[in-house]
Protein backbone atom coordinates (compact mmCIF):
# COMPACT_ATOMS: atom_id res chain seq x y z
CA UNK A 1 0.00 0.00 0.00
CA UNK A 2 1.31 3.48 -0.86
CA UNK A 3 2.28 5.96 1.84
CA UNK A 4 0.89 9.45 2.39
CA UNK A 5 1.53 12.09 5.02
CA UNK A 6 -1.16 12.85 7.57
CA UNK A 7 -1.85 16.19 5.85
CA UNK A 8 -2.05 14.67 2.37
CA UNK A 9 -4.42 11.96 3.64
CA UNK A 10 -6.81 14.66 4.87
CA UNK A 11 -6.47 16.49 1.55
CA UNK A 12 -7.33 13.30 -0.33
CA UNK A 13 -10.37 12.69 1.87
CA UNK A 14 -11.64 16.19 1.10
CA UNK A 15 -10.97 15.78 -2.61
CA UNK A 16 -12.71 12.41 -2.85
CA UNK A 17 -15.76 13.52 -0.88
CA UNK A 18 -16.09 16.74 -2.88
CA UNK A 19 -15.89 14.66 -6.06
CA UNK A 20 -18.50 12.22 -4.77
CA UNK A 21 -21.02 14.73 -3.38
CA UNK A 22 -21.47 18.24 -4.76
CA UNK A 23 -23.09 19.28 -1.47
CA UNK A 24 -19.68 19.14 0.23
CA UNK A 25 -17.78 22.42 0.30
CA UNK A 26 -14.80 23.88 2.17
CA UNK A 27 -14.84 27.24 3.93
CA UNK A 28 -12.28 29.07 6.05
CA UNK A 29 -9.41 31.54 6.19
CA UNK A 30 -6.95 31.19 3.27
CA UNK A 31 -8.28 27.75 2.29
CA UNK A 32 -8.61 28.61 -1.42
CA UNK A 33 -5.64 29.77 -3.54
CA UNK A 34 -3.20 29.50 -0.61
CA UNK A 35 -4.36 26.01 0.31
CA UNK A 36 -4.66 26.62 4.04
CA UNK A 37 -2.14 27.68 6.65
CA UNK A 38 -0.81 24.09 6.82
CA UNK A 39 -1.33 23.30 3.13
CA UNK A 40 -4.11 20.79 3.76
CA UNK A 41 -6.55 22.24 1.18
CA UNK A 42 -3.99 22.70 -1.60
CA UNK A 43 -5.33 22.07 -5.09
CA UNK A 44 -9.00 22.03 -4.13
CA UNK A 45 -9.76 25.61 -5.23
CA UNK A 46 -8.21 25.02 -8.65
CA UNK A 47 -10.19 21.79 -9.10
CA UNK A 48 -13.58 22.78 -7.65
CA UNK A 49 -13.69 26.56 -7.96
CA UNK A 50 -14.53 29.41 -5.66
CA UNK A 51 -18.14 28.35 -5.07
CA UNK A 52 -16.99 25.19 -3.27
CA UNK A 53 -13.70 26.36 -1.75
CA UNK A 54 -14.40 29.69 -0.13
CA UNK A 55 -12.07 32.10 1.59
CA UNK A 56 -13.54 34.13 4.43
CA UNK A 57 -12.55 37.20 6.44
CA UNK A 58 -10.67 36.66 9.71
CA UNK A 59 -13.85 35.88 11.62
CA UNK A 60 -14.39 32.44 13.08
CA UNK A 61 -17.91 33.45 14.12
CA UNK A 62 -18.71 34.27 10.50
CA UNK A 63 -17.23 30.98 9.26
CA UNK A 64 -19.35 28.91 11.63
CA UNK A 65 -22.43 31.08 11.15
CA UNK A 66 -22.33 30.51 7.40
CA UNK A 67 -21.49 26.82 7.82
CA UNK A 68 -24.34 26.27 10.28
CA UNK A 69 -26.89 27.85 7.96
CA UNK A 70 -25.59 25.89 4.99
CA UNK A 71 -25.69 22.60 6.91
CA UNK A 72 -29.23 23.20 8.10
CA UNK A 73 -30.23 24.00 4.51
CA UNK A 74 -28.96 20.63 3.28
CA UNK A 75 -25.31 21.21 2.33
CA UNK A 76 -22.29 19.52 3.96
CA UNK A 77 -19.77 22.21 4.87
CA UNK A 78 -16.26 21.45 6.07
CA UNK A 79 -15.24 24.55 8.01
CA UNK A 80 -11.59 25.11 8.84
CA UNK A 81 -10.70 26.96 12.04
CA UNK A 82 -7.01 27.66 11.60
CA UNK A 83 -6.07 26.97 15.23
CA UNK A 84 -8.27 25.25 17.81
CA UNK A 85 -7.50 28.06 20.25
CA UNK A 86 -9.61 30.38 18.08
CA UNK A 87 -12.65 28.15 18.38
CA UNK A 88 -13.57 30.36 21.33
CA UNK A 89 -14.50 33.02 18.75
CA UNK A 90 -17.27 30.77 17.38
CA UNK A 91 -18.05 28.87 20.58
CA UNK A 92 -21.60 30.17 20.72
CA UNK A 93 -22.28 29.01 17.18
CA UNK A 94 -21.05 25.50 17.97
CA UNK A 95 -22.62 24.90 21.37
CA UNK A 96 -25.89 26.82 21.03
CA UNK A 97 -26.67 26.21 17.37
CA UNK A 98 -24.75 23.31 15.78
CA UNK A 99 -25.09 21.00 18.78
CA UNK A 100 -28.72 21.75 19.62
CA UNK A 101 -30.59 22.24 16.36
CA UNK A 102 -31.50 18.56 15.84
CA UNK A 103 -32.97 18.38 19.35
CA UNK A 104 -34.66 21.80 19.14
CA UNK A 105 -36.55 20.87 15.98
CA UNK A 106 -37.50 17.38 17.11
CA UNK A 107 -35.28 15.66 14.57
CA UNK A 108 -36.65 17.45 11.52
CA UNK A 109 -33.45 19.48 11.01
CA UNK A 110 -29.90 18.11 10.90
CA UNK A 111 -26.55 19.87 10.98
CA UNK A 112 -24.06 17.77 8.96
CA UNK A 113 -21.12 20.03 9.71
CA UNK A 114 -17.43 19.19 10.10
CA UNK A 115 -15.16 21.66 11.89
CA UNK A 116 -11.53 20.87 11.08
CA UNK A 117 -9.13 22.52 13.47
CA UNK A 118 -5.48 22.27 14.46
CA UNK A 119 -4.58 21.60 18.09
CA UNK A 120 -1.66 20.59 20.28
CA UNK A 121 1.63 21.83 21.70
CA UNK A 122 5.23 21.02 20.85
CA UNK A 123 5.38 23.48 17.93
CA UNK A 124 6.76 26.36 20.05
CA UNK A 125 3.76 28.44 19.02
CA UNK A 126 3.07 29.81 22.52
CA UNK A 127 -0.08 30.56 24.44
CA UNK A 128 -2.71 31.14 21.74
CA UNK A 129 -1.69 28.48 19.19
CA UNK A 130 -0.90 25.41 21.31
CA UNK A 131 -3.97 24.42 23.29
CA UNK A 132 -5.84 21.12 23.39
CA UNK A 133 -9.52 22.08 23.75
CA UNK A 134 -11.44 18.80 24.08
CA UNK A 135 -12.66 19.60 27.59
CA UNK A 136 -14.27 22.84 26.39
CA UNK A 137 -16.98 20.78 24.65
CA UNK A 138 -17.57 17.76 26.88
CA UNK A 139 -20.59 19.32 28.59
CA UNK A 140 -22.33 19.98 25.26
CA UNK A 141 -24.57 17.10 24.11
CA UNK A 142 -24.88 16.90 20.34
CA UNK A 143 -21.23 17.35 19.33
CA UNK A 144 -18.94 14.58 18.16
CA UNK A 145 -15.17 14.91 18.65
CA UNK A 146 -12.75 12.96 16.47
CA UNK A 147 -8.97 12.92 16.90
CA UNK A 148 -6.97 10.61 14.57
CA UNK A 149 -3.33 9.70 15.11
CA UNK A 150 -2.35 8.10 11.77
CA UNK A 151 -2.75 9.08 8.11
CA UNK A 152 -4.95 6.02 7.48
CA UNK A 153 -7.29 6.98 10.31
CA UNK A 154 -7.22 10.66 9.34
CA UNK A 155 -8.60 9.89 5.88
CA UNK A 156 -11.14 7.30 6.99
CA UNK A 157 -12.41 9.27 9.96
CA UNK A 158 -12.72 12.49 7.96
CA UNK A 159 -14.77 10.77 5.27
CA UNK A 160 -16.96 9.23 7.99
CA UNK A 161 -17.33 12.65 9.62
CA UNK A 162 -18.36 14.35 6.37
CA UNK A 163 -21.00 11.67 5.77
CA UNK A 164 -22.28 11.91 9.34
CA UNK A 165 -25.47 13.93 9.89
CA UNK A 166 -24.21 15.39 13.17
CA UNK A 167 -21.76 18.24 13.85
CA UNK A 168 -18.23 16.86 14.23
CA UNK A 169 -15.18 18.64 15.65
CA UNK A 170 -12.24 17.08 13.82
CA UNK A 171 -8.96 17.65 15.68
CA UNK A 172 -5.66 17.55 13.79
CA UNK A 173 -2.48 17.65 15.86
CA UNK A 174 -0.04 19.99 14.16
CA UNK A 175 2.97 17.75 14.87
CA UNK A 176 1.38 14.86 12.98
CA UNK A 177 0.96 16.59 9.60
CA UNK A 178 4.27 15.34 8.17
CA UNK A 179 4.01 11.83 9.58
CA UNK A 180 3.67 9.20 6.85
CA UNK A 181 1.75 5.95 6.82
CA UNK A 182 -0.02 3.52 4.55
CA UNK A 183 -3.27 4.86 3.09
CA UNK A 184 -5.63 3.15 0.64
CA UNK A 185 -6.20 5.09 -2.56
CA UNK A 186 -9.91 4.33 -2.76
CA UNK A 187 -12.38 6.09 -0.43
CA UNK A 188 -13.09 4.28 2.84
CA UNK A 189 -14.44 5.08 6.30
CA UNK A 190 -13.18 4.40 9.82
CA UNK A 191 -15.99 3.94 12.33
CA UNK A 192 -16.64 6.96 14.52
CA UNK A 193 -16.86 6.00 18.19
CA UNK A 194 -14.54 3.00 17.91
CA UNK A 195 -11.14 2.96 19.65
CA UNK A 196 -8.20 0.81 18.52
CA UNK A 197 -5.78 -1.27 20.54
CA UNK A 198 -2.41 -0.23 19.10
CA UNK A 199 -0.42 -2.66 21.24
CA UNK A 200 -1.60 -5.58 23.35
CA UNK A 201 -0.34 -6.19 26.88
CA UNK A 202 -1.32 -7.73 30.20
CA UNK A 203 0.14 -5.55 32.95
CA UNK A 204 -1.46 -2.10 32.50
CA UNK A 205 -3.61 -0.17 30.01
CA UNK A 206 -2.60 3.21 28.61
CA UNK A 207 -5.49 5.20 27.14
CA UNK A 208 -4.62 8.22 25.01
CA UNK A 209 -4.98 9.89 21.60
CA UNK A 210 -3.23 11.83 18.85
CA UNK A 211 0.51 12.51 19.37
CA UNK A 212 0.54 10.96 22.84
CA UNK A 213 -0.17 7.56 21.23
CA UNK A 214 3.36 7.53 19.86
CA UNK A 215 4.85 8.49 23.20
CA UNK A 216 2.89 5.68 24.84
CA UNK A 217 4.11 3.17 22.25
CA UNK A 218 7.72 4.25 22.82
CA UNK A 219 7.29 3.70 26.56
CA UNK A 220 5.63 0.33 25.95
CA UNK A 221 8.54 -0.77 23.79
CA UNK A 222 11.09 0.40 26.35
CA UNK A 223 9.37 -1.22 29.32
CA UNK A 224 8.88 -4.49 27.46
CA UNK A 225 12.64 -4.98 27.85
CA UNK A 226 12.04 -4.98 31.61
CA UNK A 227 9.23 -7.50 31.36
CA UNK A 228 6.35 -5.02 31.68
CA UNK A 229 3.72 -5.53 28.98
CA UNK A 230 1.59 -2.44 28.34
CA UNK A 231 -1.63 -2.33 26.35
CA UNK A 232 -2.01 0.94 24.40
CA UNK A 233 -5.45 2.16 23.36
CA UNK A 234 -5.88 4.97 20.84
CA UNK A 235 -9.29 6.53 21.49
CA UNK A 236 -9.60 8.02 17.97
CA UNK A 237 -13.06 9.35 18.90
CA UNK A 238 -13.03 11.43 22.08
CA UNK A 239 -16.78 11.83 22.30
CA UNK A 240 -18.49 9.45 22.38
CA UNK A 241 -15.56 7.36 23.61
CA UNK A 242 -15.48 3.59 23.18
CA UNK A 243 -16.31 2.08 26.57
CA UNK A 244 -16.36 -1.49 25.29
CA UNK A 245 -12.73 -1.49 24.12
CA UNK A 246 -11.61 0.29 27.28
CA UNK A 247 -13.51 -2.03 29.61
CA UNK A 248 -12.30 -5.18 27.85
CA UNK A 249 -8.72 -4.02 28.34
CA UNK A 250 -9.20 -3.11 32.00
CA UNK A 251 -10.78 -6.49 32.70
CA UNK A 252 -7.51 -8.00 31.46
CA UNK A 253 -4.91 -5.67 32.99
CA UNK A 254 -6.61 -4.16 36.05
CA UNK A 255 -4.43 -1.04 35.84
CA UNK A 256 -5.05 2.20 33.94
CA UNK A 257 -3.04 5.25 32.92
CA UNK A 258 -4.72 8.10 31.05
CA UNK A 259 -2.53 10.50 29.07
CA UNK A 260 -3.44 13.86 27.56
CA UNK A 261 -1.36 16.98 26.98
CA UNK A 262 -3.98 19.51 28.14
CA UNK A 263 -3.88 20.80 31.76
CA UNK A 264 -5.03 18.30 34.41
CA UNK A 265 -7.87 20.31 35.97
CA UNK A 266 -11.05 19.66 33.96
CA UNK A 267 -9.19 17.47 31.47
CA UNK A 268 -11.41 15.20 29.37
CA UNK A 269 -9.57 12.12 30.67
CA UNK A 270 -11.19 12.84 34.03
CA UNK A 271 -14.54 11.82 32.53
CA UNK A 272 -13.08 8.53 31.34
CA UNK A 273 -11.48 7.97 34.73
CA UNK A 274 -14.75 8.49 36.58
CA UNK A 275 -16.63 6.24 34.15
CA UNK A 276 -14.10 3.48 34.86
CA UNK A 277 -14.47 4.05 38.62
CA UNK A 278 -18.25 3.79 38.40
CA UNK A 279 -18.49 0.79 36.09
CA UNK A 280 -15.23 -1.18 36.42
CA UNK A 281 -14.09 -0.54 39.98
CA UNK A 282 -14.06 -4.22 40.96
CA UNK A 283 -11.52 -4.96 38.22
CA UNK A 284 -8.98 -2.34 39.33
CA UNK A 285 -5.80 -3.54 41.03
CA UNK A 286 -4.38 -0.03 41.57
CA UNK A 287 -5.56 3.60 41.53
CA UNK A 288 -6.13 5.14 38.10
CA UNK A 289 -3.29 7.44 37.08
CA UNK A 290 -3.59 10.63 34.98
CA UNK A 291 -0.59 12.07 33.17
CA UNK A 292 -1.34 15.47 31.68
CA UNK A 293 0.07 18.88 30.98
CA UNK A 294 0.59 21.26 33.86
CA UNK A 295 -2.07 23.69 35.03
CA UNK A 296 -0.41 26.60 33.25
CA UNK A 297 -0.65 28.24 29.82
CA UNK A 298 1.64 26.70 27.20
CA UNK A 299 4.93 28.57 27.29
CA UNK A 300 6.77 29.88 24.23
CA UNK A 301 10.27 28.93 25.40
CA UNK A 302 11.04 25.37 24.16
CA UNK A 303 12.44 24.22 27.52
CA UNK A 304 9.37 25.47 29.37
CA UNK A 305 7.02 23.95 26.80
CA UNK A 306 8.75 20.60 27.10
CA UNK A 307 8.53 20.83 30.90
CA UNK A 308 4.79 21.53 30.58
CA UNK A 309 4.11 18.50 28.39
CA UNK A 310 3.90 14.86 29.56
CA UNK A 311 7.17 13.02 28.90
CA UNK A 312 8.45 9.46 28.74
CA UNK A 313 9.98 9.72 32.19
CA UNK A 314 6.60 10.73 33.70
CA UNK A 315 4.86 7.76 32.12
CA UNK A 316 7.53 5.23 33.06
CA UNK A 317 7.45 6.34 36.71
CA UNK A 318 3.66 6.05 36.92
CA UNK A 319 3.61 2.68 35.16
CA UNK A 320 6.16 1.19 37.53
CA UNK A 321 4.28 2.55 40.53
CA UNK A 322 0.97 0.92 39.63
CA UNK A 323 2.50 -2.32 38.38
CA UNK A 324 4.18 -2.73 41.78
CA UNK A 325 1.06 -1.62 43.70
Q: Is residue 108 part of a domain?
A: yes
Q: What is the CATH number for 143?
A: 3.40.50.970
Instruction: Kindly give the residue spans of alpha helices, DSSP state H, lying in the chain.
Output: 6-20, 44-48, 60-72, 91-93, 101-104, 151-163, 212-224, 243-253, 269-280, 302-308, 312-323
Q: Based on the fold, state whether residues 170 and 41 are members of the same structural domain.
A: yes
Statement: residue 325 has pLDDT above 80: no
Q: What is the CATH number for 308?
A: 3.40.50.920
Query: If pLDDT is split at 50, 70 and 90, which confidence band does 122 have?
Result: confident
Q: Based on the fold, state whether residues 47 and 131 are members of the same structural domain.
A: yes
Domains: count for the chain: 2
Query: If pLDDT is split at 50, 70 and 90, which confidence band does 77 have?
Result: very high
pLDDT of residue 49: 97
| Strand, coil or helix: 143 | coil
Q: Is residue 190 part of a domain?
A: no
Q: Based on the fold, state whether residues 144 and 281 are members of the same structural domain.
A: no
Work out the percent of the chain whose per-residue pLDDT is above 90.
Answer: 96
pLDDT of residue 90: 96
Q: Based on the fold, state whether residues 21 and 159 are members of the same structural domain.
A: yes
Q: Based on the fold, state whether residues 204 and 80 are members of the same structural domain.
A: no
Catalytic-residue membership of 124? no
Work out the percent of the chain whose per-residue pLDDT is above 70.
Answer: 100
Residue ending a domain, among 142, 160, 182, is: 182
Q: Is residue 91 part of a domain?
A: yes
Statement: residue 127 has pLDDT above 90: no
Q: Based on the fold, state whether residues 66 and 124 are members of the same structural domain.
A: yes
Q: Based on the fold, state whether residues 246 and 307 are members of the same structural domain.
A: yes
Question: Which has the closest alpha carbon to 275: 258, 294, 295?
Answer: 258
Residue ending a domain, among 138, 159, 182, is: 182
Which residue range forms the structural domain that includes residue 308?
Answer: 196-323
Q: What is the mean pLDDT of residues 278-305?
A: 95
pLDDT of residue 126: 86
pLDDT of residue 287: 97
Q: Is residue 187 part of a domain?
A: no
Q: Which are the contacts of 203, defined by CB distance < 8 A and separation ≥ 6?
A: 228, 229, 230, 253, 255, 323
pLDDT of residue 314: 94
Q: Based on the fold, state whether residues 177 and 231 are members of the same structural domain.
A: no
Q: What is the mean pLDDT of residues 92-107?
A: 95
Q: What is the mean pLDDT of the chain?
A: 96
Query: If pLDDT is split at 50, 70 and 90, which confidence band does 123 have?
Result: confident
State the Cα–Cα distance between residues 254 and 227, nearest whole angstrom: 17
Residue ending a domain, among 150, 182, 214, is: 182
pLDDT in tens, 29-55: 999 999 999 999 999 999 999 999 999
pLDDT of residue 53: 98
Q: Is residue 191 part of a domain?
A: no
Q: Based on the fold, state whether residues 203 and 257 are members of the same structural domain.
A: yes
Q: What is the mean pLDDT of residues 94-115?
A: 96
pLDDT in tens, 235-247: 999 999 999 999 9
Statement: residue 112 has pLDDT above 90: yes
The one catalytic residue among 102, 124, 128, 129: 129
Statement: residue 324 has pLDDT above 90: no
Q: Based on the fold, state whether residues 145 and 286 are members of the same structural domain.
A: no
Q: Based on the fold, state whether residues 26 and 171 are members of the same structural domain.
A: yes
Range with the largest mean pLDDT of 8-17, 130-139, 301-310: 8-17
Q: Is residue 189 part of a domain?
A: no
**CA 12 to chain CA mean position, Å:** 18
Q: Is residue 204 part of a domain?
A: yes
Say if CB 91 and CB 136 are below 8 A apart: yes
pTM, two decimal places:
0.96
State the Cα–Cα distance between residues 241 and 248, nearest whole angstrom: 14
Q: Based on the fold, state whether residues 215 and 262 are members of the same structural domain.
A: yes
Amino acid sequence: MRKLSFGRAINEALDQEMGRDDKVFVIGEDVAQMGGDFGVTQGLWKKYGEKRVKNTPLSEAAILGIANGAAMAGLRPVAEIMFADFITECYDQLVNNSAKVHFMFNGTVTCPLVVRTVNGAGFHAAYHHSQTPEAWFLNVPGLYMVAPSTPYEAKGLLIASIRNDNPVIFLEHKLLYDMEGEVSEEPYTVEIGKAKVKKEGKDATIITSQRMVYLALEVAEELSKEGIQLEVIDLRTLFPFDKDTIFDSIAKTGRVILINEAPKTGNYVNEISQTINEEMFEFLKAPIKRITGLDTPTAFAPKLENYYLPGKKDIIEEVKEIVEY
